[in-house]
Amino acid sequence: MPPLAAAPTKLGYSPTEQSTTDRTPWSIRDSTSPDARESKLIGQSPVMQKLFSVIGRVAPNDSSVLITGATGTGKELVARAIHDQSPRRDGKFVDVNCSAIPETLIEAELFGHQRGSFTGALANNCGLFEKASGGTLFLDEIDALNLSAQAKLLRVLQERTVRRIGARTNIAIDVRVISATNCDLAQEVAAGRFRPDLYYRLRVLPLHLPELCTRGNDVELLIDHFLRLKAEHEGVARRQFTDEAMRALMEYPWPGNVRELENAVAYAMAIGADEQLGLADLPAEITNNRIQSSTSDFRDVLQAYMNETVPLAEIEKRYILSVLQQFGGNQVRAAAALGIDRSKLYRRLKQYGVMAVKFLQEEQNGMQLRTWSTKA
């Protein structure tokens, strides 16, 4: 096992170890939590109706589920829906964002550790598997697990026991595992980055979420849903989009899927001053409806700077961000495509984090940074 840099604490690590996303690395929800069973999956399209019926069938089964789909398609919401419809609904739902936990701490977080098992391990700590006992463990962005953690996870799933780091005995666990990824895990297996035996153990019940642009009228339903939801949360009167704005929303291809749509509604509600929300209240990419591939965006950026001297670091930053966008925010795949290791990509993104948002605001016509940089 590699040396551990710091001891895990209840909600994470020293600030320098934090992931580039804003998400908490893990959260625990039980049936008494305020948001319990609040999440509602919206969709009337045939593809979503079929998905709802599959969810109904897989929920009572205790086998592992692997949810795949592009960013923002609702993988986490579906995982919660499966838990809420399962016999484990009164147990905990432990949501772990594997990519937000530093590689050196992931095993201690998942499996726990004994006091003194590494520098800073001041007390015995039960891992997330133990915390989820009786409920569901949701391993989000499972593709981010390194090979060592994959091997240990496989053993836990096979033996249904965990051994805390530094401990001599195994502890029986009763957990259903649901995992999710927005990358092609079969391709990760073929590339040798993901264990095939673990892959097959995780995808006993595979579920794929379709992209929003294939869901037809669901866009209209979701717009309506978010307008109502946000008005309720903010305690304000419900507003509507003008016909012209609705047309722009319906024509937009939604590369960031439901999350992007939710953000667009929130943006319009914050920007719009009138009772009706118009075209001018929508984010620029929707009004322009100019979706270009990140590669052509990058070429535009290069073209625009042809006659200027641009620092090499700036070119590197823009290229890294464009590749990351190309892979839907998947850092593991972006790092592989860039030919650098993931920790180097992390460091770069950490360095760019704040500037990326600023860049987006300042250069609306430049490369578009989407939901992956402002992930809720």
Ligand X SMILES: Nc1ncnc2c1ncn2[C@@H]1O[C@H](COP(=O)(O)OP(=O)(O)OP(=O)(O)O)[C@@H](O)[C@H]1O
By CB under 6 A, name the one of 8, 12, 25, 72 that touches ligand X.
Answer: 72
Nearer to ligand X among residue 4 and residue 59 (C-beta): 59
Give the C-alpha separation, 209 to 133, whole Å: 27
Residues 214-253 that bind ligand X (CB under 6 A): 225
Binding status of residue 41 toward ligand X by CB under 6 A: yes
Going from the C-alpha of 195 to that of each of 185, 186, 260, 372, the distances in angstroms are 10, 10, 32, 26
* Beta-carbon contacts of residue 18 (< 8 Å; ≥ 6 apart): 12, 100
> Dmax of the chain from CA atoms?
66
**Binding-site residue total for ligand X (CB under 6 A)?**
16
By CB under 6 A, name the one of 28, 36, 42, 279 that touches ligand X.
Answer: 42
Nearer to ligand X among residue 74 and residue 278 (C-beta): 74
Binding status of residue 260 toward ligand X by CB under 6 A: no
Which does residue 258 bind out of Mg ion, ligand X, none, counting CB within 5 to 8 angstroms by kind? ligand X
Q: How far is the CB of 288 from ligand X (least distance, A)?
A: 23
Residues 161-220 that bind ligand X (CB under 6 A): 182
By CB under 5 A, name the one of 26, 58, 68, 76 that touches Mg ion.
Answer: 76
Q: Which helix or strand (DSSP H or E) is residue 28 part of?
A: strand 26-29
Rounded to a whole number of angstroms, the CA Rg of the chain reads 22
Binding status of residue 130 toward Mg ion by CB under 5 A: no
Q: Is 362 left (phi over 0), alpha (psi -120 to 50) or beta?
A: alpha
Residue whose CB is nearest to ligand X in the complex, by number: 74
Which range binds Mg ion by CB under 5 A, 67-75, 112-120, 199-207, 296-304? 67-75
310 CB neighbour count, 10 Å cutoff:
13
Binding status of residue 25 toward ligand X by CB under 6 A: no
Give the burial string for 70-86 (b: 16+ CB within 10 Å, else e). Answer: bbbbbbbbbbbbbbbbb
By CB under 6 A, name the one of 75, 88, 201, 370 that touches ligand X.
Answer: 75
Binding status of residue 54 toward ligand X by CB under 6 A: no
Which amino acid is present at 351? Q
358 CB neighbour count, 10 Å cutoff:
11
Quote the Cα angle for 103-259-370, to 5°.
70
Q: How far is the CB of 263 from ligand X (least distance, A)?
A: 9
Give the C-alpha separation, 97 to 145, whole Å: 10
Query: Encoding tokens for residue 14?
Result: 């020293």
Binding status of residue 258 toward ligand X by CB under 6 A: yes
Residues 333-352 that bind ligand X (CB under 6 A): none
Q: How far is the CB of 207 from Mg ion (least distance, A)?
A: 13
Nearer to ligand X among residue 113 and residue 203 (C-beta): 203
| Cβ-contact 201, 61 below 8 angstroms | no
Residues of the shown chain interacting with Mg ion in the complex, contacts defined by CB under 5 A: 75-76
Residues of the shown chain interacting with ligand X in the complex, contacts defined by CB under 6 A: 41-43, 69, 71-77, 182, 225, 258-259, 262
